[in-house]
Amino acid sequence: MRLVSRILVVIALGWGFAKIIELSPPEWKALATWLPPVLIILLVASAFGRSLFRGEALITRIARANHDGDFPDEMVGYTRSLTAVWAWFLLGCAVLTMLLVQYAHFPQAASLTPVLVPCLMIGEYFFRKRRFSHYTHRNPLSLMLFMLLHGMPRD
């Protein structure tokens, strides 16, 4: 039931965003197209970044929840560094989007982040599988399903 309600929220937000763009004045259409995705990227980047300074890093919490508390100490430093990588990566995606829209007149630039995020997830998964081959690892799709079903771990 939790998964269904989360999917419905995402659908409602998408529909609401589409209506905002549809009803906005013509001169605001470009801004309405790229600004909300950039703000969302910045919010997610700040969640990753803030977690580095408040308690346990976000990816460390996700990994602990994923391993049912049986989380190796060796992975704590790695997941903390990975949290910083995600924060900087998402900040870079937001800046790149704004620069491409403003200076390259590429209004579809906001669609780059959803393409780049899976690339980082998959690349990191293969790196982790190789670097920490003595542990079992969920693939990115399985991990996303786990997070959809169980939500984000709290502090």
What is the arithmetic mean of pLDDT over 118-139? 90
In a domain, 105, yes or no: yes
Query: Which residue in the block uniquely carries the two structure tokens 């990191």?
Result: 124
Distance from C-alpha of 25 to C-alpha of 45, rounded to nearest angstrom: 30
Q: How many separate domains does the chain show?
A: 1
Residue 80 contacts residue 52 (beta carbons within 8 Å): yes
Q: Is the pLDDT of residue 155 over 80?
A: no
In a domain, 155, yes or no: no
In a domain, 119, yes or no: yes
Domain of residue 114: give its range.
Answer: 2-150
In a domain, 96, yes or no: yes
In a domain, 132, yes or no: yes
pLDDT digits (tens, 9 = 90+) for 28-72: 777 777 788 888 899 999 999 999 999 899 999 888 887 776 788
- Predicted confidence at residue 68, as pLDDT, reads 73
In a domain, 118, yes or no: yes
Q: Is the pLDDT of residue 19 over 90?
A: no
What is the arithmetic mean of pLDDT over 124-140? 88
Average predicted confidence (pLDDT) for the chain: 86
Number of neighbours of residue 111 by Cβ within 10 angstroms = 13
What is the arithmetic mean of pLDDT over 77-106? 92
pTM of the predicted structure, to 2 decimals: 0.79
Split at pLDDT 50, 70, 90, the class of 1 is low
